[in-house]
Amino acid sequence: EKQIITETYVSYNGFSDIEQNDSNGLQIVLMQHPNKLRAGEKLSFKITYSGKPIPEAEVALKTLNKFYYQDSDKVEIELEPKDKGLVTFEPTLPGRYLLGVEYEVELKDNKMADFRSIEKFLTFEITQ
């Protein structure tokens, strides 16, 4: 089984509060609003499943700049969650980014599948 969830932060005329009121399922818990970030500042977030940290989740970050800027540097890295599912990344380049998290959950008493692969994506933009 596969479950895919996406979240996007778009800011216009100011920044909204981070809306994270659901602790069920796979979550990217942000420590700050991603659109307030500037190049050279740290982005920290926690990966949780049903409210519990999961350091074993797979986390990847890609820049989407090549789609928007011809002379863009390519950023594509695998991030390792640290203790308690906390991940920190310091972007050096401004632009649009895609953060992807994948986590497998074992299914019990399911004749169709042994595992469910859950993927969650977050897009955001970093300015200078």
Per-domain residue ranges of the chain: 2-9+24-126
User: How many Cβ atoms sit within 10 Å of the Cβ of residue 15?
Assistant: 12
Confidence of residue 103 (pLDDT cuts 50, 70, 90): very high
CB-based contacts of 94, cutoff 8 Å, min separation 6: 38, 39, 125, 126, 127, 128
Just give the CATH number of 2-9+24-126: 2.60.40
Tell whether the model's pLDDT for residue 1 goes beyond 80: no
Q: For residues 49 and 27, is the Cβ–Cβ distance under 8 A?
A: yes
The pLDDT confidence band at residue 102, using thresholds 50, 70 and 90, is very high
Give the per-residue pLDDT at 15. Answer: 73
For range 3-10, the mean pLDDT = 71
Percent of the chain with pLDDT over 90: 7
